[in-house]
Amino acid sequence: MLGQQRLAEYLSHILEAIDRIYRYTKDMDESAFANNPLVQDAVIRNLEIIGEASHNIEKRYATFAASHPELPLSSAYQMRNAVAHGYFKVDLEIVWRTIQRELPSLHEQVKALLAGVRG
């Protein structure tokens, strides 16, 4: 049971990070995002959280990860590495596209899986 509880925590971390990114970028377009380093830093930090939680799921819950290949766990971890180690060379266009194109489906997938894990 403890394993399922920890898995649920990782999934919750992903959802919470996505929700924060949505709050930080609400009512922004790409130009506003590109010109707001405070929001950029907040978004990047939450992408790191998504990536780290994704990596923990892959590493500690390999069976779960393998049974859900639709979850972009390794891609999320790669994004985490790119933003965590990019320092001042992060490609903000890629970050913005990720927010707009990837996070909505990830949010829905994780939300559904979390409901199943919690039972």
Q: Which CATH architecture has domain 2-118?
A: Up-down Bundle (1.20)
What does the CA dihedral 19, 25, 26, 28 come to, rounded to 10 degrees? Answer: -160
- For residue 1, the model assigns a pLDDT of 54
Given a contact cutoff of 8 angstroms between Cβ atoms, the answer to whether 59 and 10 are in contact is no
- Alpha-carbon span 26 to 14, nearest angstrom: 18
7-50 residue pLDDT tens: 999 999 999 999 999 999 999 999 999 999 999 999 999 999 99
Q: And the tokens for 9?
A: 């925590």
**Section 88-92 average pLDDT:** 85
pLDDT band at 87 (very low <50, low <70, confident <90, very high): low
Q: Report, as residue numbers or ranges, the catalytic residues.
A: 80, 85
With tokens 């390794």, the residue in question is 74
Identify the CA nearest to 108 among candidates 70, 57, 62: 70
Q: Among 60-64, 100-104, 115-119, which stretch is predicted with the lowest mean pLDDT? A: 115-119
- For residue 67, the model assigns a pLDDT of 96
